[in-house]
Structure 1
């Protein structure tokens, strides 16, 4: 039996205002950087990943978008941990809505937005990525990560949509719109998933926060 521990960490608050961030590449705000600093400090002193003493993290993985990658790479370099960017863990691409202010979007597309939040598997943003394609992309990156790094401790800095999907996956939930529309996931939130592999099957356990 091999247990792989994945520490999922959402990026901090970003520059750009109250926009729909998908593939729009924006940097962290000063507040966002401080949020991640606090999260990293907690991680460094946790039982899960006690970097204050001896590094128990084997790998830092990040979405290539700047709001994740800059801080993730700096954290990995600080602790001399291997670092890799994985495009599969990017946020969903919202197409024509991507990067637009929510206030402007609701002035123009209120009905379409409400339909999307209610059931994103049946409604797709104009010229955007389908939810099925997004989840398939994340699943492929996730499966490859667990297969290549069995038994390791991995810090994955990524996005709210990605984390929500992986939480749903660990709970065996499929097409549960509430995971995306009703679950509040703060900036710099931390969620841990344990993946136990017995050689034939993989079992996921969701842990809210660090030990």
Structure 2
């Protein structure tokens, strides 16, 4: 039996205010940098991660979007941890809605937004990515990550939507709209998923926060 531990870490607050970001590539705000600084500090002091050679992790994986990749790469370099960007762990592409403020979106597309949040598998943002395609790309990347790094400790710096799907996956939930619309996941939130592999099947367990 092998246990692979994946520490999911959401990026911090971003520049641009209260907008729907998706693939909009923006930097962290000063507050966001401080949030991640605290999250990394807490991670270093916890017992959650303990990899080979007394490193905090064996690998740092990041979405290539700046709000994830810049702090993830800096952290990996500081602690001499292997680093890789993986585009499959990017946030959902909201198409024509991407980059617009929630106020503007609700003023102009309130009915469509309500329908989307109620059932994102049946409703897709204009020119955007379907929820099924989003979840499929995450599932494929996740399986590849676990197979390539069995028994390792991995830090995955990513986005709220990606984390919500992986949390639902670990709980065996499928097409649960509330995971995306009702589950509050603050900036720099940390969630741990353990993957126990017996060679035939994988068993996922969800741990909220750090030990």
Residue in structure 2 matched with residue 47 of structure 1 by the alignment: 47
Verify: 1:209 aligned to 2:209, yes or no: yes
Q: Deviations over 1:38-86 (max 9, x none)?
A: 00000001101259x9314100000000000000000000000000000
Residue in structure 1 matched with residue 168 of structure 2 by the alignment: 168
Residue in structure 2 matched with residue 137 of structure 1 by the alignment: 137
Moved more, 76-85 or 98-107: 98-107
Residue in structure 2 matched with residue 177 of structure 1 by the alignment: 177
CA contact (8 A) 1:43 1:50 kept: no
Runs of 4+ in 1 over 2 A off after TM superposition: none
Verify: 1:156 aligned to 2:156, yes or no: yes
Relative distance call for 1:16 and 1:62 in structure 2 (3 A) is: same
Structure 2 gaps of 5+ residues are none
Residue in structure 2 matched with residue 57 of structure 1 by the alignment: 57
1:124 Cα deviation after fit: 0.2
TM-score (norm 1): 0.98
Partner Cα separation in structure 1 for residue 204 and residue 50 of structure 2: 22
Provide the aligned C-alpha RMSD in A.
Answer: 1.1
Structure 1 gaps of 5+ residues are none
Partner Cα separation in structure 1 for residue 54 and residue 84 of structure 2: 21
Residue in structure 2 matched with residue 191 of structure 1 by the alignment: 191
Residue in structure 2 matched with residue 114 of structure 1 by the alignment: 114
TM-score (norm 2): 0.98
CA contact (8 A) 1:62 1:156 kept: yes
